[in-house]
């Protein structure tokens, strides 16, 4: 099946439009286009004014940087960010509270790029609101001190512009560039050439039945249709929900010797691509299993889309604990390139990540400062809890109840007995009728094996902010 996404336009009814003459329709189109330009201008001025007030800085006009006199090179940049206070990674027209907004503002401020449009930019994952990343990777063309034929010489790599330090001077403290990698292939893409993405989700152990969660998690490994473990984004052309989870584990990551109920667990999932909200939906179901409200076999039941084609209604796990932890890349780009001047002996497009000792030390110190403040808060709260629990002989109970969104019902209803969402077929028919998508019956083999990350992301980019990736991720795209 092939799906084409039509741009959503709110307009008059079909009958009203059909009654208009050709000249009237043309005038209406011109009016709407002018109105759209005007609205964009108003929003951008408002956002710019807000940002200047927030930063306490006045606008000053500098002499434009002459990029025509500069050399360029293609690189990967590795970033981390604490996404709790941001509206997601991807830029939005009506918000400056995104990672990409601050990233491109920094890139332009230090004159590493002229504009996003001319930077050959791609991102590895598209994390959603509240989601963090330790290993977000982007690819782009940046300013260089050296000619293209000299850029991969060892001495010139050491003397190249210190990209990470330049950016970190102007980025917010919770967004940091850690390392950069010189690229052989000028079309190598952080998005299309990523072969594996790993997410981590952190939860308190509480009274969770971890062995039951591990049993349920084992059903997730392999290639499955995950339509019951994601938010279906049919309106943006996503109609294939087959993905592969290569590995999933639940490990202890922090121990509290006063009460093991306060130990922290880390759930780690690895795959090539993830659907919109896939990790958070998986975590919601695993938490129900850990709480004893569902049997581990419910995961297997929800993966059987022939038996259960419609997703039962349930609340997702919250965004706060989710982290895009690691990304691995192809040795050789899948993108065609005419540039073979710099191919290495082993044919790899990758080089080693370049870290600057002083930049890593400074970034580590800043992150230690953030950890200290958060840990002081956590320790203070933990001390209060210890005192209160001693007064009422209270023990650690259902901490997992705070990890899911929505209102909690007084009486629990099993997942498979709940009201169900619309089927995939009904959603496709709905959006086709609204002319949001155009559906053809032509088969699409690239979408049949669950390894369609490039196709998934190119479609998802049309829509609203997705998580870590449709990346998460991403994004994989996840949120």
DSSP type of residue 238 = -
**Closest of 383, 353, 219 to residue 295, by C-alpha:** 219
For the chain, the straight-line distance linking the first and the last C-alpha, in angstroms and rounded, comes to: 26
Q: How far is CA 434 from the centre of its chain?
A: 28
* Cβ neighbours, 10 Å, residue 318: 16
233 is catalytic: no
Q: How far is CA 114 from the centre of its chain?
A: 25
* Cβ neighbours, 10 Å, residue 432: 15
Contact 133, 201 (CB under 8 A): no
CA distance 228 to 378: 35
DSSP one-letter string for 275-337 = -TTHHHHHHHHHHHHHTTSS-THHHHHHH-TTT--SPBP-PPBPSTTEEEEEEEE-SS-SS--
Size (the chain), residues: 479
**Closest of 403, 436, 249 to residue 320, by C-alpha:** 403
Instruction: Mention every residue, 6+ apart, whose C-beta is less than 8 A from residue 58.
Output: 52
H/E stretch holding 30: helix 22-55
Given the residues 14, 62, 94, 128, the one annotated as active site:
128
Give the CA distances from residue 206 to residues 263, 318, 395, in Å, rounded to whole numbers and listed in that order: 7, 17, 9
Residues annotated as catalytic (active site), given as ranges: 128
């Amino acid at each position: 099946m092939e799906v084409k996404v039509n741009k959503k336009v709110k307009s008059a009814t079909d009958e009203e439009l059909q009654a208009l003459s050709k000249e009237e329709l043309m005038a209406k189109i011109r009016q709407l286009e002018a109105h759209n330009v005007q609205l964009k201008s108003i929003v951008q001025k408002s956002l710019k004014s807000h940002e200047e007030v927030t930063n306490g800085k006045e606008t000053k006009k500098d002499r434009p940087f002459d990029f025509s006199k500069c050399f360029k090179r293609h690189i990967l940049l590795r970033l981390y960010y604490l996404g709790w206070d941001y509206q997601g990674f991807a830029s939005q027209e009506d918000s400056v509270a995104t990672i990409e907004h601050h990233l491109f503002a920094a890139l332009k401020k230090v004159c590493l790029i002229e504009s996003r449009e001319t930077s050959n930019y791609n991102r590895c994952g598209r994390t959603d609101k509240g989601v963090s990343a330790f290993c977000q990777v982007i690819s782009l063309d940046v300013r260089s001190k050296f000619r293209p034929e000299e850029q991969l010489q060892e001495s010139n790599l050491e003397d190249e512009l210190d990209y990470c330090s330049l950016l970190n001077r102007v980025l917010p403290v919770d967004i940091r560039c850690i390392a950069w990698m010189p690229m052989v292939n000028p079309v190598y893409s952080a998005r299309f050439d990523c072969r594996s993405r790993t997410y981590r989700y952190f939860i308190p152990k509480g009274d969770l039945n971890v062995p039951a969660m591990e049993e349920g998690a084992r059903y997730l490994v392999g290639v499955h249709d995950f339509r019951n473990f994601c938010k279906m984004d049919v309106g943006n052309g996503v109609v294939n929900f087959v993905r592969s989870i290569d590995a999933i584990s639940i490990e202890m990551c922090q121990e509290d010797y006063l009460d093991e109920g306060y130990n922290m667990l880390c759930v780690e999932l690895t795959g090539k691509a993830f659907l919109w909200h896939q990790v958070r939906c998986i975590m919601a179901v695993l938490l129900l299993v850990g709480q004893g409200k569902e049997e581990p076999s419910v995961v297997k039941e929800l993966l059987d889309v022939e038996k259960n084609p419609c997703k039962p209604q349930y609340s997702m796990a919250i965004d706060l604990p989710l982290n895009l932890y690691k990304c691995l890349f192809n040795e050789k780009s899948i993108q065609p390139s005419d540039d073979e001047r710099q191919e290495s002996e082993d044919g790899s497009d990758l080089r080693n990540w370049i870290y600057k000792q002083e930049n890593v030390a400074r970034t580590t110190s800043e992150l230690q400062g953030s950890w200290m403040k958060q840990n002081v808060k956590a320790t203070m709260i933990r001390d209060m809890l210890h005192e209160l629990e001693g007064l009422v002989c209270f023990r650690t109970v259902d901490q997992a109840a705070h990890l899911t969104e929505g209102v909690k019902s007084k009486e629990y209803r099993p997942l498979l007995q709940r009201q169900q969402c619309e089927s995939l077929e009904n959603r496709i028919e709905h959006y086709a009728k609204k002319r949001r998508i155009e559906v053809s019956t032509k088969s699409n083999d690239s979408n049949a094996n669950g390894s369609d990350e490039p196709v998934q992301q190119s479609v998802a980019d049309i829509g609203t902010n997705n998580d870590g990736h449709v990346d998460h991720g991403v994004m994989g795209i996840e949120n």
